[in-house]
Amino acid sequence: MEIVIVGLGAGGLYSSKSALSYNRKCHVTIIEKRNFDQFSPCGLPFVIEGVVKDFDELKYNVPEVKNRLSKLLFHEVVSVDAKRKTVKVLDLATSKEKEIKYDSLILATGASPIILGISGAKEFAGRGVHFVSDIDNSEALLQAAEYSNKKKAVVVGGGSIGLEIAVGLKKLGLDVAVTKRTPPPFPRSLEPSMGSIIIEHLEQLGISVLFGKGIDRINGKNKVESIEIAGENIDCDIVVMAVGMKANARLSELAGAKTEKGFVVVNNRMETSVKDVYAVGDLVQTYSRIDGTPTIMQLATSAYRQGVAAGINAAGGNSSYPGALNTFVTVIGGLEIASTGYTLETAKSLGYEAKAFFTKREIKPHYMPDAEEISIGVIVESSAGKILGAQALGKQGAAWRINLFALAIHGGMTVYDIMDAELAYNPPVSQMYDPVSQVAEIALKRLRLPPKECKKIFFPV
């Protein structure tokens, strides 16, 4: 059995691993445009920030398995013939083409940075306009920052990558501004009140925040000299575009796969609309774990799980992807920002009678010298207290608390269940009555839900 995987990101890697593990008789060929194996794109901003020593630290090799796993690096799939079950592959070093047959095809082609359709965006690419999506363009940004004459940068976009890069450039000694057309950061993940905390944190770091103001044009002669935002000219020689990623769906479309809004539609087996063609990762439209609503989740964690399911199925098995909760965390200048599930706005737009409840509490007893506060919130279905989403911000402990809520949503739990949960306590790490339990109690009381029915348990004498 021959399985061809196009793309060696998280989705492609774990597709190959699960296929080889499930079916000992299959052969896997991975085709990748890069001239090296794997790297961690999530680590790119932290090289720029100086947390990670250099970009080579992000690379790691995928060993070939004799007679079972082959890699074609610096090769590109240029066409797919789904009827004949073949792909045409171009050797980027020699410009020679060859055809490879497959029994199952897994497309893990990822996504590429969105380029805004404004004056100067394309013209100055590589001459002041930068992206952060791979090692090459990240190295170019780092070099530009080190040799910048003006030492002034503007980051366009207020998502994880944009804000992480803004912090990194600030640590390199640049004056940094962040601009975003819509006011709150992370609108798909956080309530506006949580966004306000992030803005305040960025300003405390010395980063100018220009949210609610879109970039109009990029000015310069042979390179970037300034940008125009809401009619105001801002001096800079570095512009970082971080406004999102566009699915690399061209091969999927060539294969005849159904797409919606530029993303490849898949089912819970990660099958496309074309027989024996699967798709995983940043290029797919998946569905919500909560209720099956179509959603986009461009995160490594989802690509990994989708890859596991696709690999098993491509190798003849039967595995399903459980759906996405959009559970994410980012760290911006020491502040953990985490969320899972729906925001209140999203929940209401989907027809839920929902409410949001927030509180700010210390994560350790007050007498501990490093007791920090955490802002934590929960989105709850009003009638029964079912948890639909949760959000947390803090210098410590936000990530693991959101992971706990993600498990709760995954299991269909309510605020009653969270209040009943027995959580670990010791003063150096937590409160006796954790903020997770406290926000659940606040939700229960404000919703005026009835006390949980007591069930008698008889113990043997």
Determine the distance from the C-alpha atom of residue 375 to the mean position of all C-alpha atoms in its chain, rounded to a whole number.
22
Q: Give which of 285, 264, 263, 283 is closest to 273, Cα–Cα.
A: 264
Contacts of 289 (CB under 8 A, 6+ apart): 322, 323, 324, 325, 409, 410
Beta strands in 245-394 (DSSP E): 245-247, 259-260, 263-265, 277-279, 284-287, 294-295, 328-332, 335-341, 354-362, 373-381, 387-394
CA distance 164 to 334: 10
Half-sphere exposure of 46 (CA within 13 A, CB side): 14
Sign of torsion, CA 90 93 96 100? negative
Query: Which residues are CB-contacts of 238 (< 8 A; sequence separation ≥ 6)?
Result: 128, 130, 141, 144, 145, 148, 152, 153, 154, 169, 174, 224
HEC secondary structure over 77-140: EEEEECCCCEEEEEECCCCCEEEEECCEEEECCCEEECCCCCECCCCCECCCEECCCCHHHHHH
**Among the listed residues 355, 323, 346, 344, the one whose alpha carbon sits nearest the alpha carbon of residue 447:** 355
Marked catalytic residue, from 26, 42, 236, 454: 42
Phi/psi for 41 (5° steps) reads -65, -25
Q: Please, are residues 122 and 232 in contact by the beta-carbon 8 Å criterion?
A: no
Answer yes or no: 42 catalytic: yes
User: Is beta strand 152-156 parallel, antiparallel or unpaired with respect to 129-130?
Assistant: unpaired
The DSSP code for 368 is S
The C-alpha atoms of residue 87 and residue 101 are separated, in whole angstroms, by 7
- CA distances for 359 relative to 36, 141, 224, angstroms: 47, 39, 44
Q: What are the CB-based long-range contacts (under 8 Å, 24+) for 225-231?
A: 225/128, 227/120, 227/154, 229/154, 229/179
Active site amino acids: 42
